[in-house]
Amino acid sequence: MSSIIEDELLSSTIIKKPLALDFDYVPDELVHRDEQLKFLAQMFKPLLSNVSQNVVIKGPVGTGKTVIAKKFCNSITNISRKQGKIIEYVHINCRKRSTDSMALLGILNHFDSRFPDRGFSVQEMIQVLGKQLLKRNAQLLVVLDEADALLKKSGSNLIYNLTRFSDESSMQKIPVSILLISQKDILPMLDSASLSTFKRSNVLSLDKYTRDELYGIVKQRVNLAFHRRTVDDSSIDLIADIASDWGDARFAIEILWKAGISADHQHTQVVTPEHVRAAKADTYSVVTETKLKNLERHQLFTLYSIAKRLKKDQTAYVNTGDAEKTYAVTCEQYNEKPRTHTMFWNYIKEIEAAGFINIKLSGKGHLGTTQLISLPDIPAEIVSNKVEELLK
Ligand X SMILES: Nc1ncnc2c1ncn2[C@@H]1O[C@H](COP(=O)(O)OP(=O)(O)OP(=O)(O)O)[C@@H](O)[C@H]1O
Which residues sit at the interface with Mg ion, rule CB under 5 A? 66
Stretch binding ligand X (CB under 6 A), from 61-69, 119-127, 281-289, 330-338: 61-69
Report 201-240 residues binding ligand X (CB under 6 A).
217, 220
Cα 192 to chain center, whole Å? 25
Residue 63 touches which of ligand X, Mg ion, none (Cβ within 5-8 Å per kind): ligand X
- Cβ-defined contacts of 96-101 (< 8 Å, 24+): 97/150, 98/149, 98/150, 98/152, 98/153, 98/154, 99/150, 99/153, 99/154, 100/150, 100/154, 100/157, 100/158, 101/125
Residue 98 touches which of ligand X, Mg ion, none (Cβ within 5-8 Å per kind): none
Stretch binding ligand X (CB under 6 A), from 26-34, 106-114, 229-237, 346-354: 26-34
Our CB check for Mg ion shows the closer of 93 and 283 to be: 93
Q: What is the DSSP string of 109-135?
A: HHH-TT--SSS--HHHHHHHHHHHHHH
Strands 176-182 and 54-58: parallel
Q: What are phi and psi of 10, to 5 degrees?
A: -100, -5
Residue from the set 40, 87, 92, 249 that interacts with ligand X by CB under 6 A? 249
Cβ of residue 253: shortest distance to ligand X, in angstroms?
5
Angle at 266 between CA 17 and CA 285, to 5 degrees: 80
Reduced to 3 states, what is the DSSP secondary structure of residue 45? Answer: helix
Reduced to 3 states, what is the DSSP secondary structure of residue 182? Answer: strand
Residue 249 touches which of Mg ion, ligand X, none (Cβ within 5-8 Å per kind): ligand X
Stretch binding ligand X (CB under 6 A), from 63-71, 123-131, 158-166, 285-293: 63-71
Cβ of residue 248: shortest distance to Mg ion, in angstroms?
11
Cβ of residue 312: shortest distance to ligand X, in angstroms?
32
Residue 23 touches which of ligand X, Mg ion, none (Cβ within 5-8 Å per kind): ligand X
